Structure 1
């Protein structure tokens, strides 16, 4: 990495002192590996807002942060047109360090040491994180699903809060996520969403998952309706969702017991 083309770095940590320490270490390492801190962010949401319009080479990301943690941030970074490399920084060693032996991703324990940081940064020019691996590790290490899903729209990366999604509907290779305001096209598999968010969504039909809290009622389909055995009514929007014969009783029981 030449002085004419320094490594562009984004520091993401909710602790100002931790960000200051990383900035100081990077300054100390400048002669060995020229780098430039482009910006700082206090959580994953702020980082993604910045990265939509300001690409960087590497993100130094804490793991435990409010709003969006570092693991979830990494899964969304993999969807950017030019994803940066990610180096995790954390004060906790109980995140199974061996799980991050991913070539392109390093895992540094705080307090971060200069030579350890240098060794991690030297991997950045030729190696990049495997987003699919990060996604799997992310869910396991967070102990739950993502708080946001991401999609590309008109060249921009959009985040969709999972808590606002009323249903998912599969159609060919895409899945539509519907909120009260609009629809989003996701590059996700319905079966994976069903597993990840089993506590929030239930299957109504081979192509439909619905948020349990979005169900308002049901109506039986006409006898000649080949699309569904019945229809689910939703809170806040006029759309109806098809319910298969197999899911009719479990879905109605959910409403009855809620």
Structure 2
């Protein structure tokens, strides 16, 4: 069966372009369009959609509010944001969006988002490899030692020394810095390849800068919890399969 898709955008040319792009995919069928948040919620409550392509800024409410309203519904549709505004990506993933496309984008980029929405589970999206091998730890990191982050239409280069840890976000990643959390368009696996050997994969969902670890504490399952050196004393879990390797690295 083809996935039933709802397009939500207040601009007619944008809806037409999305319908055209979606028409190139045999496994997706557009069965509804909405021009604002209120219309979108009416349609979403009247028909079981598999997928919603959702704009951010619209009359009568935002796409983020629409996604929040349906996220806990039975058989909730997968949400892909399609917007001209790059600044809401972190908020989008906080409401469980599968992907965040910034206009203009092409059919290839849309196709990757559709694949992620319709075929990948959260576990499949970011699968951790075994603990980093000795060869990988000793390999050269990215020459610049910086990670590009899109903020307000500009690219900011984050020095790896400022990163406390990174967490997975369905093909993207969050970087936790001392005073903020930012979204990057790199998976956790990609970050692990780019960052230096002092970064350690503690869990399927976490990559930690060991230079920022303040304490190691046992948890009730016999694994470990890392306490970071930021003012909030952030905590990051270490899976049992990686705890032994981490102890060895730290000489414990």
TM-score range, shorter chain: 0.3 to 0.5
TM-score, length-scaled by structure 2: 0.45
TM-score, length-scaled by structure 1: 0.44
